[in-house]
Amino acid sequence: MTTRTIRSASPADAEAVCAIYNHYVDNTTISFEEAPVAPGEMAERIADVASLNLPWLVMCEDDKLIGYAYATKWRARAAYRFAVESSVYIDCDYAGKGAGTALYEALLMELRRRELHLVIGGIAQPNEASVRLHERLGFIKVAHFSEVGLKFGRWIDVGYWQLKLAPRENP
């Protein structure tokens, strides 16, 4: 029987994270990066997220890392400090099997624990699976930018979905 666990990422997870992410970089418009990310750079990204006291989670099935989810600042100005942008990536062999939902739910729990107010998901279009995931978790579409990215010689739209994590009084 297989066991799935979710834990905080560390820079030591960078190589496994790259194995998942670089598939999307090389083969899809889900990520707008155009060149594969090296493990050293990914380790820095993981450490940068942790340094901001934001979550970067990984899901393992037995000993294999099969997905990850994290949040980054939405914008740099202080007034935006309660809003974050989320990302979730699943090993393509495990897509559609509940890993993305479980990871996203764990990420949202961590964001609530940190008393954040709003999470924003940007989704390159079309991506029906990601739209369904976000909407199933309660996100609502709030924006659509037409032809905002160029990858593989074609223009790509991006939609934005948001989720208010909890009612919040003015701090």
Q: What angle do CA 73, 78, 81 make, to 5 degrees?
A: 40
- Res 143 pLDDT > 60: yes
Q: How far apart are CA 136 and CA 130, in angstroms?
A: 10
Complete domains list, the chain, with CATH? 4-164 (3.40.630.30)
pTM score of the predicted model: 0.94
**In 3D, which of 87, 9, 73 has the Cα closest to residue 44?**
9
- pLDDT tens-digit series, residues 61-78: 999 999 999 999 999 999
Summary mean pLDDT of the chain: 96
Cβ atoms within 10 Å of 9's Cβ, excluding its own? 24
